[in-house]
Structure 1
Amino acid sequence: MDGLRHEPVLLREFLEAAAPAQGERWIDGTFGFGGHTSALLACGCRVLAMDRDPEAEQRAALLGNVWGDRFRFVRRNFVEMAAAAVEMGWGSVEGVLLDLGISSGQLEDPSRGFSFRWDAPLDMRMDSASPMTAGDLLQDLGEADLVRLFSTTSSPGESRRLARAVLRAREKGRLRTTGELVAAIGAARPSRRRIHPATRAFLALRMAVNDELGSLERALPAALRLLSPGGRLAVISFQSEEDRRVKHFLRGQSCRRLKEPTAPEEALPLAGGFARLVRVLPSEEEILRNPRSRSARLRVGWKEGGRDL
């Protein structure tokens, strides 16, 4: 798998919008194949990289040989960025980057069970030490919980159909493989659309197994608290629900909201909100070169203070 080439999405746009500078401290919460981290190091930054995928640790070791003490990797979920920064002796940082979702390398590794293109065990764990696999989740949840799971990516009616399809398949035997899940979904919902009928179901299941939305909700305020004045929070998302939550957080923590006297107290920004917000979409050139980037959205929030905005 390490031989696969993973092209960072919106890399040039990230460097332009977040403007990392010599000597700054950055946290890359989603190291992956190290593309964004390498770019930050090339800008002269010090980087603390995080990833819960054990395979990322092997790639990080190679990067450490090149960049020395300006780079450190820890195998942890990015929700633990504050603790990891303290261990580095960093009370604050100038930037935090989160590139959400999974890499093409993870998706194209049949043994991980992320894709319906191969018949493989229903795993889908980003961290192989995590106890709950996708198969375990499908086996344990009742109908109401399954509906909630699928509703993160599908309509209410579609979520109910998917939940019932899982229950019917369970009655015939345990759902053990991606192929068995695809067959169950296909029997309940024949494909009449351009996308594969299992696409949204697999996405919702992966996000649930790894608590991706919950991790994002906890990581965003942690990142803001870590940022020094003028620091930047950059988030690249590929799913509409993730982007919606990032947008809601950035706007909710915008300094402009401090001027709204009627805003309820619980809705006011944390101390030191965002003075500038930027949203960037992939160019047509990048989409042609890397079709995976089509759904990508980059949002950058600049914390108040620091250099002129």
Structure 2
Amino acid sequence: MITTVTLNAAIDKTYYVHSFISGEVHRVARQVAEPGGKGNNVAKVIRLLGGKVTASGFIAGNNGTFIEAGLQARGIDTAFIAANGESRVCLNIMDESSGLSTELLEQGPAVGRSQIAQLKQNLLGLARDSSIVVLSGSLPPGAPAELYAELISIVKTAGARAYLDTSGIAFSAGIEAKPHFVKPNEHELAVWLGKVSLTENESIEAAHKLSDEGISQVCVTLGERGTIAVIDGQGFRVNLPMIQAVNTVGCGDSFVAGMAYSESRGDSPAERLRIATAAAAANAMSERAGHIEDDVFQRFLHQVKVVPL
């Protein structure tokens, strides 16, 4: 089994408008609402790939009920801790004339010490029954910066492999606990190094640095340019198929899902990267975050190129 942890769950709502202009009134042509938050997106794609997955973390209020019910309807087991208030809404406004996306992300409800203690106890039991635990997304208000590091230690103590996908101070603190997998994008990696941007060679060097520090799988996503990966010391360059993306929200989560699902099956590093990249590309062709169609996924699976460095 794979467990996902979403500390700041959300309803991912997408509005499609003909042309979005700031300060104007717009009529929404159509809308999509999905149970979201990065870990929940990971869970959705793992399930679509055929994996057994349990979604956990924090949810709150009526929005939390919507999130949990939506995941359960997809065949995903849930083990959430209730927080006070309402889980957040993350709004994505898609301008269909330009293809540009504008995102408005709520903060989410605050969590306290007792809820964090409940989460840790819950996670220990889930990790004992899991091969992989995926920790994804931003920290909620009230959570300490080192929370991911503490959760990684719990996962490792239980004998599972910890995947970490976050950014900023949560990423910097989290990697100190040596997770099994990390997936910074090139901007997040640059911030960690205290730089504005990185060349591709600098990204490769940084990925090897993280690998040398004890992180078995480091994947640096480069958007439409593909991925640089270092897995157990071996470098890889992954090239994407040519696509015209419909929606990029959830692509990184789909990549993480593909890596976790493929590793749980015992696939080779190159095969993990191929499945993860095809899942990310398939998500980009869907209007729904954290969603892939099998025929699209299978088509991209044969187009992804993984080249050893």
TM-score by length of 2: 0.26
Greater percentage in strand? 2
More helix by share: 1
